[in-house]
Amino acid sequence: MQCERCGAGPSGAELFDYCGLCGQTLCPYCMAAGCCGQTPAVSGRTEDLDPDDEDRER
């Protein structure tokens, strides 16, 4: 996996985030720089905040 914007590769086992709008894999720097008109870019990993998760048993 590497950044589709600047081509940088992850250091170590670090996983890149991705744009929640276009799905491009972006390194932390490109996420901060923005994508799809959003600055910083919309993270594709924020789905953890889905309120439907409250239905889960703990």
What is the separation, in whole angstroms, between the first and last Cα of the chain? Answer: 33
Q: Is residue 19 close enough to count as binding Zn ion by CB under 5 A?
A: yes
Among residues 32, 36, 39, 45, the one that binds Zn ion under rule CB under 5 A: 36
Residue 33, token pair as written in the block: 């720089």
- 17 vs 30, beta carbon nearer Zn ion: 30
Q: Is 31 in the site for Zn ion (CB under 5 A)?
A: no
The answer to whether the beta carbons of residues 8 and 38 sit under 8 Å apart is no
Interface positions with Zn ion (CB under 5 A): 3, 5-6, 8, 19, 21-22, 27, 30, 35-36
